[in-house]
Structure 1
């Protein structure tokens, strides 16, 4: 004859105590297997959650004569957009003068004519600044409706713009 499990003969309160004791024993055994069962040490600095660094908003772009064309593109673009938003937006000289005022060297610049060959306002002005074998290139006018700037390679023949450009003699 098979004897019933001993808990089957005990009273309900005794079974509850045995069940709680079994659960407690299981928790203790699991704690013993996973470590010393003591409190976890505080996380080290490398384990701590990273705190977001205080970000400083970047200042306005600045001319970097030792930088590349790409380094100076943000300033070139900003200056061109300021001229585009002014009453002189259709005047090539305004772009050259503003770029020179921002630090760019006039001797490295080229600009297209303000007027077409038949005397109409140019549909687009092109202007550039050469940086070694690269160029900052800009275009603005009614055909684009905004300023467009980019970095491109200098021409093998020298300069940045194709065709005849206006002399920068002022």
Structure 2
């Protein structure tokens, strides 16, 4: 009947851990503590021009978040014509919309076995952030996000830099 003895010991361990973690919060008054400041999610600076709704061209002085509607529109236009478009077609659309090619990376459009991957990704570095788009059957359509630049300075791990 070791199981019967192990259960109360495990429960006692969980309670002890919970009490120890509760002790980490301190017993002092929180009335004097400064209120937290919001750092991760801030509004874009108002002095940077933002693309207007329906804008079709990249704004080089804008942020990644401000250019995301243009990024999404360019990619969605390609995917509306061909839901299985490869990376080259999407890169061409981003180039036509004015995104800098020297800041663009794309994942492979075929696997090493010459098969279609479950999804394809494209990333464009805009300032200190990246616009990252992904589409394909494995991700149920198209999705995009604004992400931090990787330690490598790029936007995609293993992404192929776009030339010209």
Give the TM-score range, shorter chain. Answer: 0.5 to 0.7
Check the 8 A contact 1:115/1:122 in 2, yes or no: yes
Q: Distance in 2 between matches of 1:103 and 1:131?
A: 12
Q: Which runs of 5+ in 1 are unaligned?
A: 1-57
State the match for 1:141 in structure 2.
136
**SS in structure 2 opposite 1:110?**
strand
- Provide the residue aligned with 1:103 in structure 2: 98
Distance in 1 separating the partners of 2:86 and 2:145: 20
Aligned positions of 1:3-22 closer than 5 A:
none
How far is 1:136 from its partner? 0.3
Q: Does 1:132 align with 2:132?
A: no
Query: Structure 2: how far apart are the matches of 1:169 and 1:59?
Result: 29
1:70 corresponds to: 65
Among 93, 112, 116, which residue is 2:88 paired with?
A: 93
What TM-score, normalized by structure 1, do the two folds share?
0.61
Within-5 A mapping of 1:104-119? 104-119=99-114
* Cα contact 1:112–1:127 (8 A) shared by 2: yes
Counterpart-to-counterpart distance in 2, 1:60 and 1:88:
21
- The 8 Å contact of residues 83 and 89 in structure 1, kept in 2 or not, is answered as no
Q: Which runs of 5+ in 2 are unaligned?
A: 1-51
Number of residue pairs aligned between Structure 1 and Structure 2: 112
Question: TM-score, structure 2 length as denominator?
Answer: 0.63
Deviation at 1:85, TM superposition (A): 1.4
| CA root-mean-square deviation | 1.7
CA contact (8 A) 1:88 1:94 kept: no
Is 1:166 the equivalent of 2:160? Answer: yes
| Contact residue 90 and residue 125 of structure 1 kept, 8 A | no
Greater C-alpha Rg: 1
Following TM superposition, where does structure 1 have runs of at least 4 consecutive aligned residues deviating by more than 4 angstroms? none
Structure-1 separation of matches of 2:63 and 2:53: 19
